[in-house]
Amino acid sequence: MNRKTFLKTTAASMLAVGAEGVHAKIFDTTTPTINGLKVRFLGTGAADWKGKDARGEHRRLSSIVMDDKIFIDLTAENLEMIPSSSRPDTIFYTHSHGDHYHPASALRAGIKRVFLSQTWYDIAKTDFQRAAKELQLAMPEIIPVYVGQKVVLGEIEITPLPASHATGYMFEQTLMYLVEKQGVRLIYATDTGGIPAVAARLAGIDAHDAAGKPITALIMEATMGIGYDDDFRSYTHTSVAGVERIVRILEKTKRYTPAQGQPVYLTHMARTLHGTQAELDRDLPHPLRAARDGEEVIFTTK
C-alpha cells in the first residue's frame, strides 16, 4: 500500500470511530476457567536482542500469552517458548514493528483471530493474506479495534489504550492493553513513552477522576535501564526510573492496589542498556522486577 492510499484509508477508519463508539465486542470462546489471570512471558527483550550476547544473557523479543489462549505480540523466536499445553487461537498486536508483529509466526502458531488498531487494519490484512498464501495455511479473521472499545473473550475483557510510540506509518495508533478478569486489572504497556493521559483516563487511573478504578497489576516496558534516563528513546520508550515514578504516583493516589508482595514486571529491556539478570535482580528498586523469558505469573487480587 502506498502512502497516499494509507492516509486515505486511515482517515476513513478514524471517522468510523464515531459510529462504532466504545461498546464492547463480544466473541464466543471456550477458554477454560483459570483462577486468576495467568501470564507467561515468551520474551522480554527489545529489538536489539539477537540471540545470546557476550555475557551469556538471552532475551527473546517481547511477547506474552494469557491463560494459554491469547497472545499479545508474537515473533518467530517466541514460538519455541509456547508451552505444549497451550493452544492459543487469538492474538492482539500493540503495533506494526517487526519485533512485535510477524504474520507468518502467528499463522504457524494456529491463530484464528487477529486484533489490531483500525489505523493499520488494511495493511495487516494484506500482510496476512500474503503470508497465508505462501505458507498454504488458513487465513485468520482480522478484526480492527478502537481505542477504548472493550473486547470480551469469555472471562477476559481487553480494552485497547493509546500508547506513546511511533512507527513507519505516520497515522498508526500504537496500543497498550488493559486486561480484566475476576477482579484483576492488568495494564500491559509496551512500547510506550510513559502512560498517556487518555490511556490513564480510559483505564480508570487518572487521579483527577473520582469515579476511577485502580489497576491491580502492571507489566511495563523499561527499554532504558538504570542510569539511562536521558536516552534519546525517551520520546517513545520508558526507563527504569520512569516506571518507578509511574508506580510511585499510582501508589500515592491509590490507583495501583496489587496483591500483597506482587511485583511490577519489567519487559522490553534493551540489550545494550541493561545489566545481567542477576544485576537487575540485585539493583532494581522495589517493587520493580525484571521478568524472565519463560516465567509464568498468576495475577490475583489477594
Which DSSP string do the residues of 54-84 spell out, in sequence order? TTS---PBSEEEETTTEEESB-GGGGGGS-T
pLDDT of residue 29: 65
How crowded is residue 102: how many other Cβ atoms within 10 Å of its Cβ?
22
Distance of alpha carbon 178 from alpha carbon 213, whole angstroms = 12
- CATH of the domain spanning 3-14+38-296: 3.60.15.10
pLDDT of residue 30: 60
For the chain, which residues make up each domain, given as ranges?
3-14+38-296
Distance of alpha carbon 48 from alpha carbon 60, whole angstroms = 10
pLDDT of residue 18: 38
Distance of alpha carbon 78 from alpha carbon 27, whole angstroms = 26
Whole-structure pTM value: 0.92
Residue in 169, 172, 265 with CA at minimum distance from that of residue 216:
265
pLDDT of residue 33: 72
Which helix (H) or strand (E) is 267 found in, with range?
A: strand 264-267
In the sheet that holds 113-117, the strands lie side by side as 141-145, 113-117, 90-92, 70-72, 63-66, 37-43, 296-299
Low-confidence ranges of the chain (pLDDT < 50): 1-4, 6-20
Distance of alpha carbon 198 from alpha carbon 181, whole angstroms = 22
pLDDT of residue 24: 85
N-terminal to C-terminal alpha carbon distance within the chain: 49
pLDDT of residue 212: 81
pLDDT of residue 25: 84
pLDDT of residue 27: 83
